[in-house]
Structure 1
């Protein structure tokens, strides 16, 4: 009987631990994911509402550092280096802090994006860039704090911050021309050594050895220092019946693997050379 009581008690305690009350958050989380040109941009932030309160100059004081939203600090992530105003930002994630003012706002990109709200100790060395923006009065109230992207071109967009009857917008510039030209030049130059290597491995795996040999020889020609390329070359040649060629390729792979101190490939090549009767 005692065992039954203990079992039931444990089950009830377990249910109590697992049960969690879920209610709507007063400042719900939001995430924007947007491609600008060829650059991925994401913004994560929490969205407080006015709820009858005066916002700028009251709930959000003028000329004081603000987390630009609620809860954890607002974060923005760029997949490429970008430019905002005169600020050049490396790809990565930043916290967006602002100092709202009557006549101008300061928008700050802070490299430490892990704070809850504003940092306890401000570190100027973590300011990756900043821009000063003139706020605009809009003819209606925006009830819920909003960040959005607008006015897209091939090379830019605007980041808009809206709340109450105020909008702040600043330009984001992305390296579309540079990325597109690099992509075109790469495509026009033809397949890379790694492309040929991947093709060779595939054709070997599906037992299309003639095609595998064609691609692995182009891969080795493009990158003669890659011991793993020579390893595949030896295996493919062995499959085509070219034992002498396989031994030669395996010896090259072995030498390079020894120089690179890669014990796995050293052993693999020694095993194959022994199997093929190399001298």
Structure 2
């Protein structure tokens, strides 16, 4: 009986220790995703509340680096290089720190994103970009801290920090024109070598029109900047299936030579095996 009670007690202890109480967080986490032009912008941060306190100049002291939110440092990511305050910020993810003052804020894009709050030891070498923005006083109070992306246009938007009776706006521009023109020119120039290769491979693998596959694989090889042994091996397979063994042998020999040059054993064997059938 005593043994049964001990087992039951142990089981109850395991059950109790694995239970987790979930309660609302004082500063709930938030994630904002916004496309600006053709650029993806994502902000991860926590949102503290005023809760009857004086925020700027008190809870958040003037002249000191702030995590720009609560809990883990706030992060922001850009899928493209952007321009902020006339300076370029490379695509990537950054910790977003600020130094509030009464009339302006300094905003820092910091390469180390794994800090609980501000870094214990600030490293200027990790500051990818710094800019300054003026403080605008609001005629009302905002209870919960917000980071917004507003004034969205084709080539840019504004990053806004809003809390208590303060708003700070940081405009940024994105390379929409450059990306759009590049996309248009690429499409208008016609299919790429990869497009032709994928199409030819699909037709070959699925028993479709072999003459179209032959035309497309030839185009893929022609458009390649340098000979690709896997392209030419596929070309040999297509030639063989199309009944042109002479062309298939020539392509297989070329692919074999290139595979040996690249020391790519799998394609060396594939070509050697193919040549035995020609």
TM-score (normalised: structure 2): 0.95
Shift of the 273–63 alpha-carbon distance from structure 1 to 2, 3 Å rule, reads same
**Which residue is equivalent to 2:267?**
265
* Number of residue pairs matched by the alignment: 276
Match of 2:244 among 242, 249, 256: 242
Equivalent runs, 1:200-239 vs 2, <5 Å: 200-208=200-208, 209-223=210-224, 224-239=226-241
Alpha-carbon separation, structure 1, partners of 2:277 and 2:8: 65
Alpha-carbon separation, structure 2, partners of 1:250 and 1:18: 62
Shift of the 170–272 alpha-carbon distance from structure 1 to 2, 3 Å rule, reads same
Shift of 1:247: 1.4
Which secondary structure does the structure 1 equivalent of 2:153 belong to?
A: coil
**Which residue is equivalent to 2:25?**
25
**Which residue is equivalent to 2:111?**
111
Alpha-carbon separation, structure 1, partners of 2:270 and 2:7: 56
Shift of 1:234: 1.1
- Does the 8 A contact of 1:103 with 1:135 survive in 2? yes
Deviations 1:44-84 (A, max 9, x none): 00000011111000100001000000011110000000011
Shift of 1:191: 0.6
Extract unaligned runs of 5+ from structure 2.
Answer: none
Shift of 1:17: 4.2
**Which residue is equivalent to 2:254?**
252
Alpha-carbon separation, structure 2, partners of 1:45 and 1:178: 30
Deviations 1:83-127 (A, max 9, x none): 111221000001110000011110111111111111111111111
Shift of the 14–266 alpha-carbon distance from structure 1 to 2, 3 Å rule, reads farther
Extract unaligned runs of 5+ from structure 1.
Answer: none
Shift of 1:12: 3.7
Which secondary structure does the structure 2 equivalent of 1:149 belong to?
A: strand
Which secondary structure does the structure 1 equivalent of 2:232 belong to?
A: helix
Taking only aligned residues, the RMSD between alpha carbons, in angstroms, comes to 1.7
Deviations 1:212-250 (A, max 9, x none): 111111001111511110011111112112222111111
